[in-house]
Amino acid sequence: MEHAFTSLSSEDGIFLIETRFGIRKFCFLSDSSFRLYEPDSPISPCVQGAVPVREGVKASKDGSTYRFQYGKVVVEVDEELHIQVRVDGELVLDATQLSVTIQGGDFSLAEKEGHHTSRDSGAQHGLHILNDRPVYGLGERTGPLDKRGYFYTNWNTDDPSAHVDTFPSLYQSIPFVILFDPKATVGLFIDNTYRMDFDINKSDEHAVEVRYEKGCQDIYVFLGALPEVIKGYTALTGRNPLVPYWALGAQQCRWSYPSASKVDEVIKGYRDADMPLSCVYLDIDYMDAYKDFTVDASKFPNIATWLKQKEEDGIKIVPIIDAGVKAEEGYFLYDEGMEHGYFSTLNGETYHNEVWPGDSVFPAFIDERVQQWWANHIKEFLELGFAGIWNDMNEPASFRGPLPMDVDMGKGILHEQAHNIYGHSMVKAGAKGFEQANRRLFQLTRAGYAGTCRYSSTWAGDNQSIYDHLRLSLPQLMNMSLSGQAYIGVDLGGFGGDATPELLARWAVGGLLNPLYRNHSALGTKDQEPYLLPEPYKSAYRDALKLRYKIRPALYTELYLAETQGSIALRPMVYNYPEDSRTYNENTQVMYGRDLLLIPSLFPGQLCRAAYFPEDYVHIVTGKVYPKGDHLIDVGIGDIPLFLRKGAILAIEEGEELVLLASSKDAETLYYEDARDGLEYRKGEYSLIRYRLQDGKLITEPIHEGISPRHKNVIVRYL
Ligand code: MIG
């Protein structure tokens, strides 16, 4: 019926659809992605630049069904908002509109005693998506790699109790869900910053349900193989810029090193134990009365001079910055913010709550003016000699109950909408500070949303010194990586509680491929610096550290590729072996890039464990070959179960030499190098080289040569 097209304006590639739930807009972003959204969807803070729109889409209407075709993709949407997507004729997505209240029972009695119940947030809108495929993504979560059977909520939450499988939310909320199929994976990015629930094949065994009460419907769908889906998502929302090279070294943290002399002692502790170290963090006690952008001069006298000494000594210092600002007249930050109206308000008055400094106020980070003000302070702080910024408490966390939903966090955007992007906006401000200081970005943030990684990297918050959390770290980091975050890690050894020497040593191995390799521990816990370990744990930790240092070139190369090509660095096995169903929920083996496979011990007392090799691999340390299949491998204290794919080369650094560790006579690798800091790599000052062995003969294929080689020699060594 042609007249139905009166409301279809196709000139600019955007179509209007009338449905029972109101008007929707539709457009293709590429030949493998499209967007379906309410006309008044706000411009999302997570999307970088403008959303691309394709023209040349074939549109028609048949009865109550709209049909859009672009290349191999056909999207049908009917007036009931039933969405069906076909690629090459095969149905890959079948979703219907949800508009009911899902009723919970009265569970208050159970909840009184602190039991978790299945009460949901009473959400009324959303999507019901037929699904029997493995489900990945959703960023930082607890639970397994394949999320089927679990329930999650998007509401950034600071809960320091032990993160268990059933936690609905942690510090970050990324509404990106991947329905995996080896050939026809579907990625759904449901861009809504309000509270949102994800019921992953739980209530309905054959469906993913996304539910929300508020906010607009704004859905992006990415189609293709898993790598393409992630690449499409990160092209839209942004990628982690390459971190400086030092960030791949060992980092040490503690709440808190109380003084410059204590930090010096830690650095010496590492050196005396023959353990390399690149960075030490300053937790909240370096500040004067927990006031952001201040330094307590009684503990850190002449901070600028001291920072310069550390820099010359090869140690970077990164301070924490909290979201809450002390409400105290005479404190410059508070006075400036009050003078210009930069703090969040409630009913027109500055809103107060309590955080570390006591009575505190919260910058209205959603407002660009506030971001600019904050950026100036970050820049000044960096210019004092700090190497990066560690952003904390930006969910935002508060001690006197949660912030009311109607606190205005800038430009009239209320807490209920701003909550999940508060941390995002804080680090967006911080990133501006780095840009103004002309420095390569190095920020960590605890809270985040989709796209936050283009402003800041992430650590997974307050884990604990328990084996459960060593085990959790693998699927957690793998799903963060699948959700577009490249430079990620967890606190090695665990933050809360006391790590046993064995746990700490096992974590140093289990975290070997985590891009962020930081040991951190909470106030009041046992000292966790590795040089304090008794033998044989100390040697085991040292061996892991030394191997970690050697493989930095390989780690760095993948982070560069992640930024520029949209591949992922840390990987679940399924990313590399999509046809092998044994990898689909592999929670205990982790890969880095195409070629490195870590099969760590995750239990105390373990001497050997089962390992699955989807093709032939070679042990990095012993050179033993493991043919495709199942094996028992050694994972006692001192063993480092890291393997290189047969057919691959691992570029490692040994002093002034670049050693190409080869797994066979026919093998290859990509190798990236640049100045290792600064921003010149963006102007072409880098080299990307493919090293290839052909029957034992080395062939060097430069893909880009923008700097002179750093290493004196390149030598080949066989494993
Ligand atoms: O909840 O600044 O996750 O890494 O050491 C305490 C003190 C506040 C929480 C961070 C943790 C940090 C700690 N902070």
**Model confidence at 257: pLDDT above 80:** yes
Taking only the tens place, the pLDDT of each residue in 682-700 is 999 999 999 999 999 999 9
| pLDDT confidence bin for 576, thresholds 50/70/90 | very high
How high is the pLDDT of residue 108?
Answer: 67
C-alpha of residue 435 to centroid of ligand 1, in Å: 26
**Model confidence at 121: pLDDT above 90:** no
Domain count of the fold of the chain: 3
- Is 461 in the same domain as 410? yes
- Is 198 in the same domain as 298? no
Tokens of 405: 């939903």
Closest ligand 1 atom, CA of 390? 4
SS3 (DSSP) at 209: strand
Final residue of a structural domain among 237, 271, 292: 237
Q: With respect to residue 697, please indicate whether it lies within any of the assigned structural domains.
A: yes
C-alpha of residue 112 to centroid of ligand 1, in Å: 28
The one catalytic residue in 191, 392, 653, 673 is: 392
Residue nearest to atom 11 of ligand 1 (CA): 462
| pLDDT confidence bin for 217, thresholds 50/70/90 | very high
3-state secondary structure 131-187: CCCCEEECCCCCCCCCCCCEEEEECCCCCCCCCCCCCCCCCEECCEEEECCCCCEEE
C-alpha of residue 633 to centroid of ligand 1, in Å: 37
Closest ligand 1 atom, CA of 495? 4
How high is the pLDDT of residue 104?
Answer: 56
Q: With respect to residue 567, please indicate whether it lies within any of the assigned structural domains.
A: no
- Is 233 in the same domain as 211? yes
25's enclosing H/E stretch is strand 22-30
C-alpha of residue 392 to centroid of ligand 1, in Å: 7
CA 129 → CA 187, 208, 231, 382, 574, distances in Å?
12, 5, 22, 47, 22
Contact 363, 427 (CB under 8 A): no
How high is the pLDDT of residue 2?
Answer: 35
Final residue of a structural domain among 237, 270, 286: 237
**3-state percent breakdown (helix, strand, coil) of the chain, nearest 5:** 25, 30, 45
Mutate to test the pocket of ligand 1, among 282, 283, 520, 523 (most ligand atoms within 8 A of CB): 283
C-alpha of residue 169 to centroid of ligand 1, in Å: 17
**Model confidence at 347: pLDDT above 50:** yes
Tell me which residue has tokens 């060992």: 250
Closest ligand 1 atom, CA of 284? 2
| pLDDT confidence bin for 201, thresholds 50/70/90 | very high
| pLDDT confidence bin for 4, thresholds 50/70/90 | very low
Residue nearest to atom 8 of ligand 1 (CA): 393
Q: With respect to residue 389, please indicate whether it lies within any of the assigned structural domains.
A: yes
Q: How many CA atoms lie within 13 A of 351 on its CB side?
A: 26
Average pLDDT over residues 607-628: 98
pTM of the entire structure?
0.96
- Is 180 in the same domain as 55? yes
Based on the residue annotation, tell me whether 395 is a catalytic residue of this protein: yes
Closest Cα partner for 55 from 42, 68, 40? 68
Based on the residue annotation, tell me whether 580 is a catalytic residue of this protein: no
Q: With respect to residue 132, please indicate whether it lies within any of the assigned structural domains.
A: yes
Closest Cα partner for 321 from 342, 343, 291? 291
Closest ligand 1 atom, CA of 491? 4
Average pLDDT, the chain: 95
Final residue of a structural domain among 212, 237, 262: 237
Enumerate residues 6+ apart whose C-beta is below 8 A from 290: 284, 322, 326, 355, 356, 357, 358
Residue nearest to atom 13 of ligand 1 (CA): 255
Q: What is the CATH number of the domain that holds 62?
A: 2.60.40.1760
Closest ligand 1 atom, CA of 462? 3
How high is the pLDDT of residue 376?
Answer: 98
Q: What sign results for the dihedral spanned by CA atoms 242, 478, 544, 665?
A: negative
C-alpha of residue 517 to centroid of ligand 1, in Å: 17
Taking only the tens place, the pLDDT of each residue in 643-674 is 999 999 999 999 899 999 999 999 999 999 99
**Model confidence at 483: pLDDT above 50:** yes
Q: With respect to residue 575, please indicate whether it lies within any of the assigned structural domains.
A: no
Q: With respect to residue 571, please indicate whether it lies within any of the assigned structural domains.
A: no
Mutate to test the pocket of ligand 1, among 172, 255, 291 (most ligand atoms within 8 A of CB): 255
Q: How many residues does the chain have?
A: 719
- Whole-number Å distance between alpha carbons of 141 and 477: 9
| pLDDT confidence bin for 191, thresholds 50/70/90 | very high
Mutate to test the pocket of ligand 1, among 157, 286, 320 (most ligand atoms within 8 A of CB): 320
**Model confidence at 309: pLDDT above 80:** yes
Closest Cα partner for 102 from 214, 209, 217? 209
Closest ligand 1 atom, CA of 256? 5
How high is the pLDDT of residue 1?
Answer: 32
CB atoms closer than 10 angstroms to residue 489: 23
Taking only the tens place, the pLDDT of each residue in 411-436 is 999 999 999 999 999 999 999 999 99
C-alpha of residue 284 to centroid of ligand 1, in Å: 8
Based on the residue annotation, tell me whether 392 is a catalytic residue of this protein: yes
Tell me which residue has tokens 């329930």: 151
Tokens of 175: 């509404």
Give me the domain span that covers residue 669.
Answer: 580-718
Taking only the tens place, the pLDDT of each residue in 74-116 is 999 999 999 999 999 999 999 999 876 555 566 666 666 655 5
| pLDDT confidence bin for 513, thresholds 50/70/90 | very high
Closest ligand 1 atom, CA of 522? 5
**549 residue type, one letter:** Y
End-to-end CA distance of the chain: 69
- Whole-number Å distance between alpha carbons of 503 and 524: 18
- Is 586 in the same domain as 528? no
Residue nearest to atom 12 of ligand 1 (CA): 255
CA 643 → CA 20, 76, 248, 400, 695, distances in Å?
55, 46, 19, 49, 22
- Whole-number Å distance between alpha carbons of 345 and 333: 17
C-alpha of residue 591 to centroid of ligand 1, in Å: 29
Residues contacting ligand 1 via CB (< 6 Å): 160, 255, 283-284, 320, 392-393, 446, 461-462, 495, 520
Share of the chain above pLDDT 90, in %: 92
- Is 540 in the same domain as 556? yes
- Is 287 in the same domain as 215? no
- Is 598 in the same domain as 539? no
C-alpha of residue 319 to centroid of ligand 1, in Å: 12
- Is 249 in the same domain as 231? no
C-alpha of residue 551 to centroid of ligand 1, in Å: 30
| pLDDT confidence bin for 272, thresholds 50/70/90 | very high
SS3 (DSSP) at 642: strand
Average pLDDT over residues 366-377: 98
Average pLDDT over residues 484-502: 98
Tokens of 314: 């090869």
CB atoms closer than 10 angstroms to residue 235: 18
**Model confidence at 443: pLDDT above 90:** yes
Q: With respect to residue 27, please indicate whether it lies within any of the assigned structural domains.
A: yes
Enumerate residues 6+ apart whose C-beta is below 8 A from 12: 53, 55
Q: What is the CATH number of the domain that holds 713?
A: 2.60.40.4040
- Whole-number Å distance between alpha carbons of 198 and 151: 6
SS3 (DSSP) at 619: strand
**Model confidence at 73: pLDDT above 60:** yes
Residue nearest to atom 5 of ligand 1 (CA): 255
Closest ligand 1 atom, CA of 158? 1
Taking only the tens place, the pLDDT of each residue in 520-573 is 999 999 999 999 999 999 999 999 999 999 999 999 999 999 999 999 999 999
- Is 472 in the same domain as 529? yes
How high is the pLDDT of residue 594?
Answer: 98
Mutate to test the pocket of ligand 1, among 161, 254, 287, 393 (most ligand atoms within 8 A of CB): 393
| pLDDT confidence bin for 12, thresholds 50/70/90 | confident
- Is 193 in the same domain as 272? no
**Model confidence at 292: pLDDT above 60:** yes
Closest ligand 1 atom, CA of 322? 2
**Model confidence at 117: pLDDT above 90:** no
Q: With respect to residue 574, please indicate whether it lies within any of the assigned structural domains.
A: no
C-alpha of residue 371 to centroid of ligand 1, in Å: 23
How high is the pLDDT of residue 123?
Answer: 60
- Is 631 in the same domain as 539? no
Enumerate residues 6+ apart whose C-beta is below 8 A from 68: 15, 26, 28, 34, 57, 58, 59, 74, 75, 76, 77
Average pLDDT over residues 281-295: 98
Average pLDDT over residues 600-613: 98
The one catalytic residue in 120, 322, 395, 595 is: 395
How does 562-584 read in b/e, with b if 16+ C-beta sit within 10 Å?
bbbebbbbbbbbbbbbbeeeebb
Instruction: Classify residue 327 as left (phi > 0), alpha (psi -120 to 50) or beta.
Output: beta
The one catalytic residue in 283, 322, 462, 558 is: 462
Mutate to test the pocket of ligand 1, among 392, 492, 525 (most ligand atoms within 8 A of CB): 392
What radius of gyration, in Å, describes the C-alpha atoms of the chain?
Answer: 26
